Amino acid sequence: MAGHGEAQPMTSGRCGPLTGVAEVPGDKSISHRALILGAMAVGETRITGLLEGQDVLDTGKAMQAFGATVERSGPGEWSVRGVGVGGFREPADVIDCGNSGTGARLIMGSMATTPITATYTGDASLRKRPMGRVTDPLALFGARAFGRAGGRLPMTVVGAADPVPVRYALPVASAQVKSAVLLAGLNTPGETVVIEREPTRDHSEQMLRGFGAELVVETGPEGHVITLVGRPELRPQTVAVPRDPSSAAFPVCAALIVEGSDIRVPGVSQNLTRNGLFLTLVEMGALIDFENPREEGGEPVADLRVRFSPGMKGIEVPPERAPSMIDEYPILAVVAAFAEGRMVMRGVKELRVKESDRIDAMARGLEACGVRVDEDADTLIVHGMGPGGVPGGAVAKTHLDHRIAMSFLVAGMASRAEIGVDDGSPIMTSFPIFEGLMNGLGARVRRG
């Protein structure tokens, strides 16, 4: 698992035009949810296109520890024989969620209303991340959590024997917290209500409905009011996982900044809760065509044609757009460094509690590469150096964060001197084929 093995330094050098087709793997968020909901249904759920990244594999192992049978039958093809809502058994050992905040938080939600006890841990990155944001609402159902100071892992969660339904207004715009509460609501009698002021990714709502739960979303002055009726019998499903737009972001942004590039990225989600990066890039002047719009695996998708875009300009990203592109700010900061003018990203303090403090990791790494950056608690500003204007010639620290590692390797493809990362091993958590895929397009990413 990432962070448990040796650090893997990687380097990326300036390359010729990127060309060809970038087929990125399955969506990480949807993959986690397919395994968890499959485990909570009665019968066999079949999944195709599952992301076989370490984060998702760790969630699969966890579902087995709770009593489900999880089997692989081919590349991306998995089956889950579920134990039903309330059917989880107590795991015999500690649940290791590796690098995955999504895994840890959603799994905690899924068992919090069943009278079993589970202890969670993760790698050095996950052990620093706040879990109080999920254990606070889970306590309202009657679950108890005993963790390290500040609500950190390792942590033991004792599920509620007689859960009571909850009405919970999210204090942070977080799909993970929303999902944890909804999953806890499954084994709770009555109606569980979650209110979100700003829309966050809606995969849990869509999939809960798909598995047969009764779930209604109303939009009012408070925002989205999501009501779930507890104790449904979830019916097993066939889930076709669409490609991950957060992974597509890397070849897309690489093609925008590498001179002469012209690539295609098929089947990229256009889900409005995930497409903030693409909106922002187009506003900057990126040359992206959205072709062949259609539906795949219940998600709106399009095939992207992406060309080198020397005319891109920094803009102010509307802060309310943050939840729809929260994982894409690191790679956007790289694109901004190769654009003209100032790129202002406000309302991004959530980046400080991701796999790393992503504001700090991007600011320090870009500065080391010769780019001027300003930051405060909730803001990142990148002063663009124009196409081909980034000096590079540095090694960025990735702090066990896959997206920081991939972002700096993309930066190296267009900077004057090579850019290295101290540890590329976390890339395995979300985009295990990154190196081969990028080099297949013409990049020069190497180990060491």
Give the residue with the Cβ less far from ligand S3P, 136 or 418: 136
Max CA distance (Å), the chain: 62
Give the residue with the Cβ less far from ligand S3P, 174 or 280: 174
Give the residue with the Cβ less far from ligand S3P, 14 or 32: 32
- 85 in helix, strand or coil? coil
Of 55, 123, 244, 327, the active-site residue reads 327
Element (H, E) at 59: helix 54-65
Give the residue with the Cβ less far from ligand S3P, 175 or 263: 175
| Phi and psi, residue 230, nearest 5° | -75, 165
Min dist CB 370 to ligand S3P, Å, is: 29
Q: How far apart are CA 175 and CA 274, in angstroms?
A: 11
- Whose tokens are 């990714």? That residue is 201
Check if 93 is active-site. no
Q: How far apart are CA 202 and CA 341, in angstroms?
A: 34
Min dist CB 262 to ligand S3P, Å, is: 29
- 23 in helix, strand or coil? coil
Cβ-based neighbours of 147, under 8 Å, separated by 6 or more: 131, 135, 153, 154, 155, 156
Min dist CB 309 to ligand S3P, Å, is: 26
Amino acid at 125: S
Question: Where on the chain is the footprint of ligand S3P (CB under 6 A)?
Answer: 29, 102, 174-176, 179, 200-201, 326-327, 350
Min dist CB 162 to ligand S3P, Å, is: 28
Q: How far apart are CA 323 and CA 405, in angstroms?
A: 21
Q: How far apart are CA 303 and CA 325, in angstroms?
A: 19
Give the residue with the Cβ less far from ligand S3P, 125 or 176: 176
Min dist CB 200 to ligand S3P, Å, is: 6
- DSSP code string of 9-40: -EEEE--S--EEE----B-HHHHHHHHHHHHH
Residues recognised as catalytic = 327
